[in-house]
Amino acid sequence: MVGQHTLTTVGLILFLSLDWTLSVIPEREVHPSFWNNKGKQALHSALSLKPNVHRAKNSILFLGDGMGIPTVTAARILKGQMKGGTGEEFVLAMDTFPYLALSKTYNVDQQMPDSAGTATAYLCGVKARYGTLGLSASAIRKNCSSTFGNEVNSVLHRAKMAGKSVGIVSTARVQHASPAASYCHSADRNWYSDSDMTAADIQAGCRDIAYQLVHNTDINVILGGGRKYMFPKTVKDPEYASSAGVRGDNVDLTAVWLSNKKNAKYVWNKAEFDTVDPEKTDYLMGLFEPGDCRYELERDSKKDPSLTEMVEKAIRILSRNPKGYYLFVEDEGRIDHGHHASKAKHALTEAVEFDNAIERAAEMTSELDTLSVVTADHSHVFSFGGHSARGNRVTGISLLMSNKGDDNKTFTTLLYGNGPGYKLVNGSRPNVAETEAAANGYIQQSAVLLDSETHGSEDVAVFAKGPMAHLFHGVQEQSYIAHAMAYAACVAPYTDCAIPEPEPEAAHAGAIHPSLVVLLLGLIPALRPLIPV
């Protein structure tokens, strides 16, 4: 127990005045052998990592809107704590992806990017202006006539042209900027329906995003929110008496979408969604809310499917195509929206559900033929830090100086650089109680008052696994993501790729079991110094 004593001493030096009931060191971690074994296993994984140089039959891009690195870390700890652990040691599904890169997120005209310009980059491979969708930077925001001739196509569109099935799943409205860049060309991300556009722009030939959703690329699976943009103003919403369609052209776009398709279904609630048999369905559109889906924290599981359930259904339908599929999954328009509202718990709970969906997709697919990429469009001015003991509640308060800042006030370890959380009471920052900070709707404090907290400008991570995942390395322009994914799948402009087809599962049946490898590892002289004595 010498190790334990040493660690406790270090702990005391760091956190002289903290409440010890909050600090929990898992017993195994005081033994050097624990870290040495962990290190050896990680080293073995690194040494045996071989690039999969086969073709990606299937590709899935998971986009955590606004999921910067502090969000990933805080979501990891939250998920671990939800499972009863201290949290820091927890491993997210995305953490297990072997290849990583950093993505530079700026728009051509903005240091701090938005979801539209960034979506055009990572979906179409071309960096664009702030607020524009599926258009090169020659197009100008809100300028309809600058649309024509400047269209750029997404990898999703090109995958469809190559005969694959394609789908989009989002917890935001499906006409939201991130999914929209996969199927539309719009000089403004806010042209959700014709009611959001001027008559002159419509006259000039520009079309709203919802219209383009059903008229451009032939998309097999569309799941998320946004049904109000699909129906005329005269049509009441089936779920909320106070809501109705918003279209001025009197067109029911769901009917248009269904009209030329076989084995196609439109659903708007969980019960209908559950009756959809993926084996008999080629096309599924499910729009579960008039606008964005509810936050995971507020979702009624009887009325709306979770992101994980939507991803599962999408993969089942898409994977029936022998040529494979391309799936775009966005959680979280809602991570982003949670951060804008500076409600960190909302944002982080969404990030946890996002990881659940990644986990479920990993169970349903094979790394041999499916390229999975997880990234974010941009970060937020969200910070995670301040003296906190091991296992400190993610939404908890800092333990610095008897729980106080130099202004004698408590503060949370989650904070925003700017946002709605700026507050003065009698000329100074208010105290924060642990229970107040843990409440669902709590708004974290910020240094500068803004109605809506802003995006961040720093790089975001790209996690990849599967065929050609090793192409995701180093520091890259965000537009590179589309190029690497197109190349891996041999779709335009990389149709002449000479990448061999994926290896069948069976080829790996005779592989050595990992535990045997770990056992044999001890025999490698170079690694012996790492073995605890």
Ligand X SMILES: *[C@@H]1O[C@H](CO)[C@@H](O)[C@H](O)[C@H]1NC(C)=O
Residues annotated as part of the active site: 115
- When CB distances to Zn ion are compared, the closest residue is 336
386 by DSSP, 3-state: which? Answer: coil
Closest to ligand X by CB, 129 vs 455, is 129
For 330, the token pair is: 């966005």
Query: Does the annotation list 346 as a binding residue?
Result: no
- Return the one option of Zn ion, ligand X, none that residue 402 interacts with (CB less than 5 to 8 A, by type): none
DSSP state of 526: G
Closest to Zn ion by CB, 208 vs 336, is 336
Q: Considering the complex, what minimum distance in angstroms separates the CB of residue 424 from ligand X?
A: 10
- Please give the helix or strand (H or E) that residue 4 lies within, else none: helix 2-14
Closest to ligand X by CB, 278 vs 405, is 405
Looking up tokens 């799936």 gives: 327
Strands 460-465 and 99-104: antiparallel
Show the binding pattern over residues 384-413: x = contacts ligand X (CB under 6 A), - = does not: -----------------------xx-----
Query: Does the annotation list 272 as a binding residue?
Result: no
CA distance 348 to 90: 15
238 by DSSP, 3-state: which? Answer: coil
CA distance 444 to 421: 5
CA angle at 350 for the pair 345 and 351, rounded to the nearest 5°: 100
Q: Considering the complex, what minimum distance in angstroms separates the CB of residue 145 from ligand X?
A: 5
Q: Considering the complex, what minimum distance in angstroms separates the CB of residue 129 from ligand X?
A: 12
Q: Considering the complex, what minimum distance in angstroms separates the CB of residue 128 from ligand X?
A: 14
For the segment 198-237, give every residue that binds ligand X (CB under 6 A): none
Q: Residue 8: which residues within 8 A CB-CB, separation 6 or more?
A: 25
Identify which range of 269-277, 280-288, 333-341, 352-360 contacts Zn ion by CB under 5 A: 333-341
Identify which range of 51-59, 76-84, 277-285, 334-342 contacts Zn ion by CB under 5 A: 334-342
Q: DSSP letters along 161-195, please?
A: HTT-EEEEEEEEETTSHHHHTTT--BS-TT--SGG
143 makes contact with ligand X (CB under 6 A): yes
377 contacts 65 by C-beta, under 8 angstroms: yes
- Return the one option of ligand X, Zn ion, none that residue 145 interacts with (CB less than 5 to 8 A, by type): ligand X
Query: Does the annotation list 274 as a binding residue?
Result: no
Interface size with ligand X, residues (CB under 6 A): 8
Closest to ligand X by CB, 322 vs 427, is 427
Q: Considering the complex, what minimum distance in angstroms separates the CB of residue 453 from Zn ion?
A: 9
Q: Where are the beta strands (DSSP E) in 226-362?
A: 264-267, 283-287, 325-331
Helices (H), 243-328: 253-259, 270-275, 307-318
Identify which range of 100-108, 141-149, 392-400, 468-476 contacts ligand X by CB under 6 A: 141-149
Q: Considering the complex, what minimum distance in angstroms separates the CB of residue 292 from Zn ion?
A: 12
Closest to Zn ion by CB, 48 vs 452, is 452
292 makes contact with Zn ion (CB under 5 A): no
For the segment 490-509, give every residue that binds Zn ion (CB under 5 A): none
- Return the one option of Zn ion, ligand X, none that residue 263 interacts with (CB less than 5 to 8 A, by type): none
- Return the one option of ligand X, Zn ion, none that residue 336 interacts with (CB less than 5 to 8 A, by type): Zn ion
Distances (CA, A) of 349 to 76, 133, 213, 346: 10, 28, 29, 5
Closest to Zn ion by CB, 159 vs 293, is 293
Q: Considering the complex, what minimum distance in angstroms separates the CB of residue 385 from ligand X?
A: 21
For the segment 121-140, give every residue that binds ligand X (CB under 6 A): 140
For the segment 424-483, give every residue that binds ligand X (CB under 6 A): 425-426
- Please give the helix or strand (H or E) that residue 365 lies within, else none: none
Q: Residue 432: which residues within 8 A CB-CB, separation 6 or more?
A: 397, 409, 410, 411, 412, 445
145 makes contact with ligand X (CB under 6 A): yes
Query: Does the annotation list 337 as a binding residue?
Result: no
- Return the one option of Zn ion, ligand X, none that residue 321 interacts with (CB less than 5 to 8 A, by type): none
412 contacts 437 by C-beta, under 8 angstroms: yes
Q: Considering the complex, what minimum distance in angstroms separates the CB of residue 186 from ligand X?
A: 14
Distances (CA, A) of 479 to 78, 208, 476, 497: 31, 25, 8, 20
Distances (CA, A) of 161 to 64, 166, 267, 446, 487: 26, 10, 26, 47, 15
Closest to ligand X by CB, 75 vs 399, is 399
Closest to Zn ion by CB, 64 vs 286, is 64
336 makes contact with Zn ion (CB under 5 A): yes
- Return the one option of Zn ion, ligand X, none that residue 146 interacts with (CB less than 5 to 8 A, by type): ligand X
CA distance 315 to 370: 11
CA dihedral 488→490→492→496, nearest 10 degrees, is 130
Asked whether the CA dihedral 119, 125, 128, 132 is positive or negative, the reply is negative
Give the residue ranges of the annotated binding site: 65, 176, 178, 330, 336, 340, 377-378, 455
Q: Contact positions toward Zn ion, by CB under 5 A?
A: 336
Give the residue ranges of the annotated binding site for Zn(2+): 65, 336, 340, 377-378, 455
Q: Contact positions toward ligand X, by CB under 6 A?
A: 140, 143, 145-146, 407-408, 425-426
